[in-house]
Structures are given as structure tokens and as C-alpha cells.
Structure 1
């Protein structure tokens, strides 16, 4: 599926929610600001957002990474669905033709990894000028019953399948930071062993691997597809619109 010029943008849960809360606590001002920044450049765009406090605490409470729990799966999914609606509504209010896509309805995993994703509807949305908005979710799992699927896994899967040209990961940091708090300009398979000690987990409750999980997923993507991704600070005003308008900001994750 070649999609000339398509961009996949992930907005981290740490930017749009308070990940320190045990229950879903959104940051509406941030959601609305990001929606306005996206509204200036929404052609050929797919959005994926994290779950933050709308998914991670619930998944941890029901220990969904270790066992099958139908009640916990439903509660976690319903929580992330609420966040998705907040984001989709804000995007539409800003003039973006956004449609929520819940991974539980279109993804099957096997032992926590995506085995299959129904992409025809997503492709049709893109072709018709809509902006699909996916999110971290609980999905059906052939081996485990259900499993937690991170947005950080969805992004590279979609990028490879849709042959996207531009990938951005909007986090709460200025990229991947070194020991002095400076932004590491580029991470490749060649220097990963040198910088991995700086790549820590998330400051809040995170059941999907934090920053290290992001970097590993994107390194695997670059190795298999030669796509360069950028991790940047989506909490800083203007960065989302800047990235969508072609700026290379934050930390580049690439093959070389």
C-alpha cells in the first residue's frame, strides 16, 4: 500500500493526560492546542495516541500483562475509548475530519505482538480525506486471550504496512536525553549500545516499556524499512505543527 507523503504522528499519553493519576485525567488545554496545530496540516495523516492515565493504571491494576481478565480488559478498553473520544472531538472542533479507530475492533495479536490488522478501512479513510485516530488498547490475543497493545507498537506496524514517509513520536521530552539532559541528535543500531543507559522508562505508570520501548520499536522499523523516525517534545507549543510542516526536530531514529 504505497501512500505518497503519508505521515504517522503519535502523541504520547504523558502529554495529553496526567500519568501520575490512578484514573483517567485528561489535559484538555493540551489536547485542544495539539488539535489546533494538527489542523494546519491534516492531509495524508494518521494519528496514534497513548493511553496515559486512561489505560496504564487500569491495565496494571488488573495485571493484564500477566493474565487474562475479561473484566479488567473491558474496563481498560472503555477507559482508553473515553480518551480517544476527547481527542477526536477536539480534532473535529479544530476542523480536522478525524475518526476514531479502536484497535480492539481491528487487531489480533499473538503473545503481545500484532499478528494481523484489518487495514482496508484505514486505507479507505486516508483515501477519502479522513484522519484515522488509533490508540493504545487491549486487543484479542491468540495465545493470551487479550493483551495490552501499545501505540508504540502500532506506529511502526502501520508505517511498514502503509509505506509511510514520515514518522513522528510526540513525547513529553525534547527527544531522547543524555546524562546531562541534552537531546541525543541521532540513535542508530551502531550507537545504541552507547546511549541505551540513558534511555529510561516512563516517569508515571507505564505497562508498555516507556522511552526504551519506543526506541527499540523504531530501531526495528528503521532496520526493516529504512524509515527515519523523530522523537520530539509535543508539549512544547509549535513543535507538532513544525514537525508536520517538515521540520526535523528532537532525536532521529534511523538505520545509519
Structure 2
């Protein structure tokens, strides 16, 4: 695999590593180990962010955390996603990745559900010293709401913007963003988004963060404010993560409009 001099962000969707249809947290062990093996071949700096899947969304919905402040629900949900983070980190480290969990509950502050600030000095040092920070969808403290659900899909573009990372990929359970015929859309830009919006679905399972449409909207907003191109691809297919990390254009590209100048 090529060695990258620039940091890369890899998002692992909750549906790629957990059974999102399960009532309580169930890891797709074989998929997680395969993903960890593919990640281990990368020789550059990397941040991994993963979704909460069946570990977080079920409890967040049960306690209505997307609508109300519930301290007990916040704790239960946070503890659940910590368990998943531990499993992801263990899998990565079993292949020598040097992964360390970074829980957003302890380093992010939001306002009305959007990141207001995040402590990044430790993450910068981790990257410098060869560690792979692993963040995840979590409950976070919120100035206005008490707590809120902080999606991994919001964390990814925030990190990219704040850390100057220009290559990022979202590994989902689909071959990309699908059109009405179920085929991957090659490229989505702010200019052509409305053409495809009607066929981009939310989540078919318990998901309080907006499903595929939520992912696309976050990445489009990032592309409007930067020159960053993102990729949404199927992490369930062998070697796709390897291909993304090796620099291939894969799945659906989320790009700035043609002619954009940073």
C-alpha cells in the first residue's frame, strides 16, 4: 500500500460494523476483523470515526435524547457506545494499528446539536506520534440543550476542516449514494444535489442522526466551505477500505462545484 504523507479520515458506518436491526448492541465480528486487517496495511497518519450502530441509536431513541435532556439516558447511551469503541479499538490493535479511543463526551461541546468546540491538541499529538485516534458517535454536552446526540457524520467534516485533512471516506453498507434504480451516483456536488435529493433515503433502521441523507448533507456543507472531496462507499465489500486508503476514487464522490477555488 502507498504511504500517505497527509492524514486520512476513515468513517466506519454503524451499519458496517454492527447489526443495526438488533435491539441491543451486536457487532459484526467477521466484518470488523476484516476491516481492521485492511486498515492495518495503511502506512500513513489516520483518524478513524465510527458510528454508534445498534449500541447507541437504540438507547438514544428509547430515552428520546434527540428531543429532551435525560441524564440517565445520556449515561446509558454513552456507556453503550464506549463498549463498541472498545471492540473497534481491540480489533484494530489485534492487527497492530496502535489505536486509541477518544470519547467525544469528554472533548466536545455543542450548541443546539452542532459542535461548538472540540479539544484537538491530544489528537494532533497522537497523529504526530504514530497513534490512530478512534472517535465515535456519542452523547455530548450541549450549552443550550444539556446534552445532545453527536453523530460521527458531524465529527468527520469538523475534524477535516479543523485539522486541514483533505481526504476522507465514509464506509457504509451501500455501494455509495444510490439513485432511484439502486445504482451508485458517481458524483454529487452542491450544484447537482437537488437532482438526486428525492432518491436519497434516511435510515431504514433505528437511527436518530438522519441516515444516508444526513451523511450527504454534512459532506456537502463541508465541500461548500473547502476544496475537500469525500467518498461514500461500501465497507461491507472486501478490499474496498484498502482501495480507498490506497488513493482510489471509489463509490460516490461528494465534491465542490466545478470551478471552485479555495
Shorter-chain TM-score above 0.5: yes
The answer to whether the 8 Å contact 1:42/1:131 transfers is no
The answer to whether the 8 Å contact 2:8/2:167 transfers is yes
Aligned to 1:158: 159
Q: Find the aligned partners of 1:250 and 1:219 in 2 and give their Cα distance.
A: 16
Aligned to 1:170: 171
Given the two structures, how large is their TM-score scaled by the length of structure 2?
A: 0.96
Deviations 1:31-85 (A, max 9, x none): 1100000000052100000000000010000000111000000000000000000
The within-5 A match list for 1:214-253 is 214-253=215-254
Offset at residue 158 of structure 1 (A): 0.1
1:56 aligns with 2:51: no
Q: Which runs of 5+ in 2 are unaligned?
A: 258-262
Given the two structures, how large is their TM-score scaled by the length of structure 1?
A: 0.98
Q: Find the aligned partners of 2:230 and 2:58 in 1 and give their Cα distance.
A: 28
Quote the RMSD (CA, aligned, Å): 0.9
Aligned to 2:77: 76
The answer to whether the 8 Å contact 1:4/1:164 transfers is no
The answer to whether the 8 Å contact 1:200/1:212 transfers is yes
Q: Find the aligned partners of 1:251 and 1:154 in 2 and give their Cα distance.
A: 20
Between the two proteins, the alignment pairs up a number of residues equal to: 254
Q: Taking structure 1 as reference, are residues 135 and 42 closer, same or farther at Cα in structure 2, changes over 3 Å only?
A: farther
The within-5 A match list for 1:79-228 is 79-228=80-229
The answer to whether the 8 Å contact 1:178/1:184 transfers is yes
Offset at residue 211 of structure 1 (A): 0.4
Stretches of 4+ aligned residues off by more than 2 angstroms: none
Q: Find the aligned partners of 1:4 and 1:136 in 2 and give their Cα distance.
A: 27
